[in-house]
Amino acid sequence: MSGAALAPVRCYFEDVEMHVPLETPGVTLTRAHVVLFAGVTGDTALRDPESVPDLLPLCLSSGLGWRVPRPPLAVLAFMGFEWRFLSALVVGDTIHSVSRTLTKRSMREGGVVIEERRIVNQRGETVQSGKLTLLVARRPAP
Amino acid sequence: MVFFPFVDAADGIFFEDLQPGQEFTSPGRTVTEADIVIFAGLSGDYNVLHTDAEHMKASIFGERIAHGLLGLSIQQGLAARGEPAAALGLLSGLKWKFKGPIKIGDTVHVFSRIASKKDGPDAGRGLVTVERRLLNQRGEVVQEGESEHLVERRKP
């Protein structure tokens, strides 16, 4: 089998569709997530063990984005984001994310994609939301 | 650099105690391969940027780099080690830019400054904006942005 046949399928800049909502599967927030995240951040402040750290849902949503019926986006760099924290989450809540592309701008290195993303809880309430700016690779020449 | 006065835990730090211009420099932290592996496992983000050393040899970075959100998470933990973090507990908004890569072995620290304060959504709380920079061992800004926090006012 040739190397080319094994090359992973990617969603390149040219493949990104505007305004098409992409909904991920869910993940239930557990104490294990909270403890592992505290280890990563090093935030040792005493908090309610049932409360979910503010940044954890956004971190989990980046992994949820890989579990959708679309090849993974060929992200070259995460350039920045703006984010609102609308309501607190607790252990036991189940979140998923809903995103859509707002703008695409072609650049020499690739293309800049601005994505709107919402984190939604098990009651359908948006708990966090914002816009992410990503640099996405162009489809390589065949 | 401004040192925050020691405040008894029972009293806490309130909106009234925070003033624009107050600054904080955190301790440093060396970002390791283990940090990246654990963050990939926790987040589920296994992008080759963070997990495939061979692929990354050919990239502009030359090696694996930390997830941007790992850098931000480490920033948050570093800031909590000395900033009046108890007061800045409730995050209401964040604007953030990833300016450069964090590589395995880099040592980062946080410089933060209280930029402004204004009335909050209710009488009991105010809104504090903090400018934040994450710098590496060469003094290069690898991430920067600002965070907005809802902070309790002192009870009358």
Helix ranges restricted to H, B9-67 = 33-43, 48-51, 53-57
> Quick check: is A123 in a domain?
yes
Higher pLDDT, A2 or B32: B32
User: What is the domain count for chain A?
Assistant: 1
> Quick check: is A91 in a domain?
yes
> Quick check: is A2 in a domain?
no
Region of A129 please: left (phi>0), alpha (psi -120 to 50) or beta: beta
Rounded to whole angstroms, the Cα distance separating B51 from B36 reads: 8
The three-class DSSP label of residue B17 is helix
Residues A77-88: what's their mean pLDDT?
96
pLDDT of A18-55, one tens digit each?
999 999 999 999 999 999 999 999 887 767 889 999 99
ipTM computed for the complex: 0.91
Mutate to test the interface with B, among A81, A97, A135 (most CBs of B within 10 A): A81
In the prediction, which pLDDT does A6 show? 55
Instruction: Please provide the size of chain B in residues.
Output: 156
* CATH code of the domain in which A129 resides: 3.10.129.10
Q: Which domains does chain B have, with CATH numbers?
A: 15-152 (3.10.129.10)
Domain span including residue A80 = 10-136
Higher pLDDT, A5 or B102: B102
Rounded to whole angstroms, the Cα distance separating A94 from A123 reads: 9
> Quick check: is A22 in a domain?
yes
> Quick check: is A4 in a domain?
no
Task: At A42, give phi and psi (nearest 5°).
Answer: 80, 15
> Quick check: is A93 in a domain?
yes
A18 touches chain B (CB under 8 A): no
> Quick check: is A86 in a domain?
yes
pLDDT of B10-39, one tens digit each?
457 788 888 999 999 999 999 999 999 999
> Quick check: is A3 in a domain?
no
Q: Which residues of B touch A (CB under 8 A)?
A: 29, 35, 38-39, 42-47, 49, 67-70, 72-74, 76-78, 80-81, 85-86, 90-98, 145
Q: Is the pLDDT of residue B7 over 60?
A: no
Distances (CA, A) of B63 to A14, A112, B97, B111: 26, 23, 21, 27
Comparing C-alpha atoms, which of B100, B93, B110 is closest to residue B146? B93
This prediction's pTM: 0.91
pLDDT of B75-132, one tens digit each?
999 988 767 654 466 789 999 999 999 999 999 999 999 999 999 889 998 999 999 9
Q: Is the dihedral of CA A113, A118, A119, A122 positive or negative?
A: negative
Residues in chain A with CB shorter than 8 Å from the CB of B42 are 33, 36-37, 40, 59-60
